[in-house]
């Protein structure tokens, strides 16, 4: 389950920073590699910081496992993918680089989706031989 961050409540409780750790099921359509899927829930560890103007900085990491056929030789394989996730949320409207939130509550859905797309490798490979760019197919 993806938690929401209640910025108003956090402010009222003077919890201006904190950590969120959770797992969630990724949308299968995020994986564009043929015959590959995310085999386990995505693990998210995020740190938030609420700034004086109520904008919120999020940074942390996401980790997940890709499973399926090697993009080169089709052998069954798995790959662990880990990477950073960063976002900046502003209350009411945002320019294109930022996320906006309304009613004092941040929904991480779009941010997590974008972060996963960013971390997603272009292909899944089973070995260094298959990963090597100089490998030539006959
Ligand atoms: Zn392979």
Q: pLDDT per residue over 117-126, tens digit each?
A: 999 999 999 9
- Contact status, residue 86 vs residue 49, Cβ threshold 8 Å: no
66 alpha carbon – ligand 1 mean position (Å): 14
In a domain, 60, yes or no: yes
- Contact status, residue 129 vs residue 30, Cβ threshold 8 Å: no
Mean pLDDT to the nearest integer, 66-85: 96
65 alpha carbon – ligand 1 mean position (Å): 17
83: pLDDT confidence band, cut at 50, 70 and 90?
very high
Q: Hey, is 9 helix, strand or coil?
A: helix
Whether residue 138 has pLDDT greater than 60: no
DSSP designation for 3: P
CB neighbour class for 33 (10 Å; exposed up to 12, middle 13-18, buried from 19): middle
In a domain, 137, yes or no: no
Mean pLDDT to the nearest integer, 39-56: 96
131 alpha carbon – ligand 1 mean position (Å): 8
In a domain, 138, yes or no: no
In a domain, 25, yes or no: yes
Closest by Cα among 72, 45, 69 to 59:
45
Mean pLDDT to the nearest integer, 34-61: 96
- Contact status, residue 65 vs residue 32, Cβ threshold 8 Å: no
Provide the residue range defining the domain that includes 86: 4-131
Average pLDDT of the chain, as a whole number: 93
- Contact status, residue 105 vs residue 7, Cβ threshold 8 Å: yes
- Give how many domains the chain has, as a whole number: 1
**What is this structure's pTM?**
0.89
Mean pLDDT to the nearest integer, 66-87: 96
In a domain, 136, yes or no: no
In a domain, 87, yes or no: yes
16 alpha carbon – ligand 1 mean position (Å): 47
126 or 138, greater pLDDT: 126
94: pLDDT confidence band, cut at 50, 70 and 90?
low
Please state, in angstroms and rounded to a whole number, the distance separating the CA atoms of residues 116 and 123. 14
128 alpha carbon – ligand 1 mean position (Å): 8
Give the per-residue pLDDT at 132: 85
DSSP designation for 82: E
Whether residue 135 has pLDDT greater than 70: no
């Amino acid at each position: 389950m993806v938690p929401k961050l209640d910025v108003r409540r956090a402010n009222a409780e003077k919890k201006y920073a904190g950590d969120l750790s959770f797992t969630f099921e990724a949308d299968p359509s995020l994986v564009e590699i043929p015959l590959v899927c995310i085999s386990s829930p995505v693990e998210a560890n995020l740190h938030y910081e609420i700034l004086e103007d109520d904008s919120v900085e999020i940074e942390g990491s996401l980790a997940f496992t890709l499973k399926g056929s090697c993009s080169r030789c089709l052998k069954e394989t798995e790959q662990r993918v880990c990477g950073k996730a960063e976002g900046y949320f502003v209350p009411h409207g945002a320019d294109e680089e930022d996320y906006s939130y309304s009613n004092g509550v941040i929904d991480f859905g779009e941010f997590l989706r974008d972060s996963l797309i960013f971390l997603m490798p272009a292909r899944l490979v089973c070995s260094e031989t298959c990963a090597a760019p100089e490998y030539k197919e006959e």
